[in-house]
Amino acid sequence: MTTTIDSFAGEDILSVNQFDRASLNAIFGIAHEMRVLVERFGGAELLQGKILANLFYEPSTRTSSSFTAAMQRLGGQVIPINNVQYSSVSKGESLPDTIRTLESYADVIVIRHPEVGAAATAAYYAEKPVINAGDGVGEHPTQALLDLFTVQEELEQIDGLTVVMVGDLRYGRTVHSLTKLLLNYNVSFVFVSPDILRLPADVLEAVQTSGHSYSQVEDLHSVIGEADVLYMTRVQRERFTDLAEYDRVKDFFIADKALMAQAKEKMIVMHPLPRVGEISYALDDDPRAAYFRQMRNGMYIRMALLAALLGKA
């Protein structure tokens, strides 16, 4: 386990299991400084001369562009491979060879891939740090870090909160990573999903063995009044083999004004985005709607992580 920020230098970021409260505090402190830096000066030259390879085998808007912005605001440069269909991957190149290629040009590799464990495989072959930007239905650790940072910034505490996670808890990798990361704190969980989209057994088991209080329900209205954090998610259409099943469950939970009328006055609504109907646009003006601020926090967290991995934090 890595506990100080210095010990992240040269490391990979593959799973939230690598973090504890001390390292989270350190990263959040740096991310907060990055925010101040960006707001005052637009950035700094901390990573001048460094190059990041941004390798995305799955679609992305926020994760990809916030890594790019993070690197560029710290004075570094980016090799963007967002269209692997135009790279040698489409000629049949293996992941290890693609990784060996990129690390001969870059100092750090960010990878998103449809297979669970792909980032770990990349890290096995790479000497340079590898960051998991989503491995299929597995993990999305940097999203969980920015999610938790958002809770800390918005509510000024994490201990004592009730976190209500809603939607596709089965395939949503952001839910898997955030749930595990939250086990470092004294929180209560409410998991709201249709029966077929409940948390995977391994994540549920981690919650159970940790002794945190939790419940699994199918009705959002009955629990909304307890929420300090309402974490909405998209039903992950691309993970379904049977699209009729997807159609059946996709509109189960919608956060709208009627729902928010039953919520606490001091609470936040989060979403990793993209939203595809589960949060009404009418909520965007509600001060409790934190999802756009959350998205912006992604850049500060990724600036902090890049600085830490490249030994400049």
Annotated binding site for carbamoyl phosphate: 62-63, 112, 140, 143, 273-274
Rounded distance, CA 299 to CA 176, Å?
A: 21
Task: Give the helix, strand, coil percentages of the chain, each rounded to 5.
Answer: 45, 15, 40
Does 63 interact with ligand NCD (rule: CB under 6 A)?
Answer: yes
- Residues that constitute the known binding site for L-aspartate: 91, 173, 234
Contacts 24+ apart (CB under 8 A), 214-222: 214/188, 214/189, 214/190, 215/189, 215/190, 215/191, 216/191, 216/192, 217/190, 217/191, 217/192, 218/192, 218/193, 218/194, 219/192, 220/164, 220/166, 220/192, 220/253, 220/259, 221/259, 221/262
Q: How many residues does the chain have?
A: 313
Does 142 interact with ligand NCD (rule: CB under 6 A)?
Answer: no
Selected from 50, 140, 180, 250, the binder of ligand NCD by CB under 6 A is 140
Selected from 173, 176, 180, 302, the binder of ligand NCD by CB under 6 A is 173
Q: Do 191 and 170 contact (CB within 8 A), yes or no? A: no
Q: Which of 121/177 has CB closer to ligand NCD?
A: 177
The binding track of 184-223 with respect to ligand NCD, each residue x by CB under 6 A or -, is ----------------------------------------
Element (H, E) at 67: helix 62-73
Looking only at residues 247 through 286 of this chain, which bind ligand NCD when binding is defined by CB under 6 A? 272-273
Rounded distance, CA 215 to CA 198, Å?
A: 11
Selected from 143, 152, 162, 193, the binder of ligand NCD by CB under 6 A is 143
Selected from 32, 62, 100, 212, the binder of ligand NCD by CB under 6 A is 62
Find the largest Cα–Cα distance for the chain: 55
Closest contact distance (angstroms) between CB of 272 and ligand NCD is: 4
247: tokens are 């159609």
Q: Which of 76/167 has CB closer to ligand NCD?
A: 167
Looking only at residues 18 through 47 of this chain, which bind ligand NCD when binding is defined by CB under 6 A? none
- Residues that constitute the known binding site: 62-63, 91, 112, 140, 143, 173, 234, 273-274
Residues near ligand NCD (CB under 6 A): 62-63, 134, 140, 143, 173-174, 234, 272-273
